[in-house]
Chains A and B, each alone.
Chain A
Amino acid sequence: MKLLLIEDVPPLAELTREALEAEGFTVDHAPDVEAARAILSVIPPDVIVLDLGLPDGDGLDLLHGLRNEGRAIPVLVVTARAGLNDRIDGLDRGADDYIVKPAAPAEIAARCRALLRRPGGLLGRKLQLGDLAFDTTSRHVTAGGRALALARREIDVLEVLLRKMGQSVPRRMIEDAIYTLDETPGPNALEASVSRLRRQLAEAGANVEIHTIRGVGYLIAEAREA
């Protein structure tokens, strides 16, 4: 996957680049807005990591210009600015996610993969967590290579959770994604689906766990080693 890293501090750019390359990304580096524009016009990347304070301009302006051109490349903003009062308006200006400096390169890589896992994203076809694999095209689910026979509703729930693996998914978001407008699910319908899914994952020996966050929703993560 091609990644464009826009970062003006040389040692930080070099270290981040090495870490991202170790995670399997092909990294182009631009130290300023001008270089970034040049690279974007030649080889469009799959994902952009954008530092906001650049020597020749503001990263947000670059982002804004990109969105005005109608380009939907996922952008992860890395910023030192986020504070109490000035939470970046980057999300409003077209950023897909943001992370506050100093961020570990491993986390930058994880966030980039999460962006690419979004529906329509490059990694959107195959979702992998632990030994659980989900093919979004064929809608086949395997655990440790063995196929799982899941009902359509459970597959829907699993897909929503896997697309946001490691993050909380509000139950409203799951309900919106799995029920049509005509369906009126009972108050415990989602709980029932999730508990069936949990049982089947456990029976198949998958090393993933669906956590309940009471009052909020659910979260899927690799099982903790006991």
Chain B
Amino acid sequence: MSRSLVTALIRRLLLVGGLLTLINIAFVTAYYSADPEGLRREKVTHQIDRLAEALKVGPDGKITFAPSERLMRTFSDYPEAYAFRVQDGTGRILGEANTALVPADRWNVPDGPDAWWSEVRSGERSVLVGSRRILMAGEPVSVAFAAAGDPSNLLLFVYFDELFVHIVVALLPFAICLMIVNAVTVRQSLRSLVHAAEAARKAGPSHGIAPLPTAGLPTEVLTLVDAINDALLRLGDALEAERAFTAEAAHALRTPLAVLSARIEKLPGGREIEAVRADIAALRRLVNQLLSAAQADTLVVDAARRCDLSAVAEGVVGALAPLAIREGRRLAFEAQPGTMVRGDADAIAHALRNLVENALRFSPPGEEVLVRVSRTGRLEVLDRGPGIPDEQKPLVTKRFWRASASDLGGTGLGLSIVQRIAEAHGSTLDIEDHDKGGTALSIRFPAASPA
């Protein structure tokens, strides 16, 4: 199963982020449970901070204390638990609540340090008092807070506040940035790989084998692409060798066959000799078809090449007309002159020769085989033969396929060669029933704009 690299990276980052969060929570929890006194002090500090936020300096330079209702509710809801006093340097009280919780003399340490703690025992309970001196408009203001127990779960609040500061504020933006940067970096470094993939998809006998572009590839991938390019190079060599072999084989097979048929020509006529001549002719056809099948496999169609489909088809019809007449069939041609298509003229002519020879073989004597070229670039061969049953239509382009075992006239290669040539042009051989009986074989070639 394949997965997107970006998704995999983000998934892993999320996992690491989650793990870090858990470690953080564990760390904060462990830190405070190991030090309950610290946590209590933290709570008091936190409340002092909240109270200090309510201090304002007016336009006349006077300091006022304006706490929010929410802040004050903590004190009105729990008069037995929380108390505070805010007073300026002269001892004037700016704001206070529940001050009875602590003996009056314990609220003030006029000449004490800027921040202090004290533990006051009040009956059964222990009250923690904390105070801090803040400078407001150049004047010292002392903010003191006292807590006995924790009915409002202020501790929990502090705990969550700690977690928030440690995780959400510190970790989350960082993690999100990391993910975005990662996704962008991966996408960008892989973009040149997409080009290479496109080039690789095109490589093949029909389009030639060119090395994949390596420009802009990250070095980690470059090794792979270089290796693929080496492999492509070897494949290209092999393909070239096969083409060379085909040409060699052509020469090597055709010459002895020519000698053989020339010797047979010399012999006096007779039934046996006629049979041998027919065999030689069949063998010659087979050799020719095998070679063109091998060549059709490695046919390279240059999409930039243009050819006049109607002119090519007319040439083939003209060349095969004598054969048709010798065999008592008629060959006809209908075309839109000047139909330009993208394709290889020699290969198209070869395909059409095979189609026409095939159609002539299956046409009853006296019937017409029609070659038609339409303006859209469609090349059709229509015969009036017995037609091809639907279940056999997919089979006829298979190599060495014959309609019946007794059909010795053909090599069984003709239509497979046609199919290869059609494929090399990015097209396919369409096999349909001729509406007047018989078969309609056609190939659609890509149209080329007139020059």
Contacts and interface: CB of A to CB of B under 8 A. Distances in A.
Contacts of B66: none
A206 interface: no
A168 B324 CA distance: 11
Contact of A83 (B247, B266, B335): B247
Contact of A211 (B251, B299, B325): B325
A11 B266 contact: no
A80 B322 contact: no
Interface residues of A, number: 35
A54 to B, nearest CB: 12
A138 interface: no
B314 interface: yes
Interface in B183-237: none
A21 B294 CA distance: 37
Contacts of A214: 330-334, 368
A201 to B, nearest CB: 16
Nearest to A211: B325
Contacts of B299: 84-85
Q: Which of B251, B254, B296, B368 has the most CB of A within 10 A?
A: B254
Interface string A8-19: 010110011011
A167 B318 CA distance: 8
Contact of A15 (B254, B262, B296, B300): B262
A79 B256 CA distance: 13
Nearest to A167: B322
B347 A216 contact: no
A219 B254 CA distance: 31
A224 B324 CA distance: 12
Given A83-B250, A84-B347, A102 B318 contact: no
A203 B263 CA distance: 43
Interface string A80-99: 11011111000000000000
Contacts of A121: none
B8 to A, nearest CB: 47
21 contacts: A15-B265, A19-B266, A80-B251, A84-B295, A84-B421, A85-B295, A85-B344, A87-B346, A102-B260, A102-B284, A168-B319, A168-B321, A170-B314, A211-B325, A213-B317, A213-B321, A214-B368, A215-B371, A216-B321, A216-B331, A221-B325
Given A9-B255, A81-B247, A221-B325, 19 more contacts: A11-B262, A11-B263, A12-B255, A12-B258, A83-B247, A85-B346, A101-B258, A102-B254, A102-B257, A103-B258, A166-B322, A170-B314, A211-B321, A211-B325, A213-B331, A214-B333, A216-B317, A216-B333, A224-B326
